[in-house]
Amino acid sequence: MCGIVGCHHVPDAKAFKPTALKMVKQCRHRGPDWSGSFLANSTILAHERLSIVGVDSGAQPLTNSDETIALAVNGEIYNHRVIRKTLETPYHFKTHSDCEVIIPLYMRYGIDAPKYLDGMFSFVLYDKKEDRVIAARDPIGITSFYQGWSSKMPGAVFFASELKCLHSVCDKIIAFPPGHVYDSKTDTTTRYFQPSWWDPAKVPTTPVDYKLLRETFEKSVRKRLMAEVPYGVLLSGGLDSSLVASIAQRETLRLKAAALAQMQNGDSETSREDEDKGEGLVGISDDGKLSTVTYLPQLNSFSIGLPDAPDTKAAKEVAKFLGTKHHDMTFTIEEGLNALTDVIYHLESYDVTTIRASTPMFLLSRKIKAMGVKMVLSGEGSDEMFGGYLYFHAAPTKEAFHEETIRRVKNLHLSDCLRANKSTSAWGLEARVPFLDKEFLEVAMNIDPQDKMIVKGERMEKYIMRKAFDVSVLEPGAKPYLPEKVLWRQKEQFSDGVGYGWIDALKDNAELHVTDEMMKNPKPEWGSDIPDSKEAYWYRTMFDEHFPPSCAETVERWTPTWSKQTDPSGRAIAIHNQKYEAGDEKKEA
């Protein structure tokens, strides 16, 4: 991840530049590798860089040959090589950065440029000739992005990767909507992402194609291995992260074998010394051909939890099965509690579920970065797409099930994507999420929701993803992706899986900090957004220590549907205690 700030139509750009640099410095944790800025007319772009691709030449803001177009980007463009090869008009690229392709796309397609990008991104582009700014965010909102306005500077508009960059200047801030593009020429924001599954009223009837589902997801994981720095996988031991780790490990081993063969044939420019370091060997390009990437001699996997947590036990088993170099990290309840105010500062949220899950992820990210790893794959998005949360057991109809999956996917930028992006970016670590690939979403969201629904005694949550990778049934004799009991393991929300004592400790400490009297008298500035538990109240007070009340409008609190529970934990749902019989759960409904 990187950090960006864009300021457009400020009254005196030269005088305002020091303020803009202070603004972007607030998110330097996202991009500790380099800082850059661009100023022209009444516009300032500022950038804090985390170098993953084009390490030696991708400093930002990026500009075209005559510097009439400038670009500040946070993200990764996975199809940049294909775009470079297929541009209708020749373009002189200054860098090897994957993000530079946005400039020629804008020159060709204007505000439609984001439609051609496959990746995760937030960007601000300035066209000097037209004195025009366009800003856009990836389809699901994997990268964080905000837009703000100041009553003291009418007509000015501001953009930033994080709230903390804007609130000292802006008195109105919104979360920039995913899949949208803003155009200063018309001062409008429009949706460019228009997938076939967007309308929840159009319930799909296409039966699941297990082979297509598996192959599309494998492709999604492979393209996210695009990197020139050491990478790893976050492995909780649940289905989603375990599948990501399994595919990544298969690809890592394949890349290593291909690299060795390439060197033996004398086709590689890399040396044996490079091989030993795991640097500059081969990977898959977008057209299926080999291209240079970096890989580690062994795929690193990382897990965290309290001692003897459910997730860490499962993660160790998966890592041993796959052969990854596993790092099992533990944290104490005291360490988690001590980190809470910092977690809330980086998350920019007071949502209970998000904070519970983000704290161990925040602690783990710090340890990962200390090891020299700069990018990790993570498993966010699957539960929203396939109805993986335990409350989906209560879905009354397939239509309701489908509507809820779409609602959850559309709001990921306010929950799990926000958590994954900001918990890792707090330490200059980048998280990539294969489940939220555009092509995979198109396949997964167009499956008849009847095939996704949970049927007691027959189909457990995320049944079709489990079956798609159960090659013992679909392809007898094929090498299994995961151990049987992990492939069919019951859902644990991350905040539960790191150890049940974690949530219990949070509730107990909230009791010490929030009195019954405080609950009866919430702060007037909270309006109708009243915390419904002492834990929620405690988090809101910590949020208020860092941010003014206006920032609360960007926060959404996570609550399950079809449930009367007040605690959002999966463990609070009665079905959590059900013991599944492996044989019964794999029956076809």
Q: Is 304 annotated as a binding residue?
A: yes
Residue with tokens 């490079």: 274
Q: Is the peptide bond before 90 cis (omega within 30 degrees of 0)?
A: no
Residue 199 labelled as part of a binding site: no
Q: How many Cβ atoms are within 10 Å of 116's Cβ, its own excluded? A: 17
Neighbours of 195 (CB within 10 A): 13
Q: Which of 2, 165, 417, 551 is catalytic?
A: 2
Question: Tokens 């099992």 appear where?
Answer: 328
Q: Which of 329, 336, 299, 333 is nearest to 315 (CA)?
A: 329
DSSP string, 354-387: HHHHHHHHHHHHHHHHHTT--EEE--TTHHHHHT
Active site residue 2: yes
CA angle 169, 173, 178 (to 5 degrees): 135
- Nearest Cα to Cα of residue 409 among 430, 435, 432, 428: 435
| C-alpha distances out from residue 546 to 76, 169, 176, 347, 540, Å | 29, 15, 21, 11, 10
Tokens of 281: 């060997």
Output the six-digit token pair for 463.
């049944």
Q: What is the DSSP string of 99-135?
A: GGGHHHHHHHHGGGGGGG--EEEEEEEEETTTTEEEE
For residue 84, report the phi and psi dihedrals to the nearest 5 degrees.
Answer: -60, -40
* DSSP of 547-559: S-GGGGGG-----
Residue 582 and residue 457: Cα distance in Å, rounded?
10
| Per-residue CA distances from 413 to 120, 237, 410 (Å) | 12, 24, 7
Do the Cβ atoms of 171 and 40 come closer than 8 Å?
A: no
Q: Which residues are annotated as a binding site for ATP?
A: 234, 304, 378-379
Active site residues: 2
Q: Which residues are annotated as a binding site for L-glutamine?
A: 98
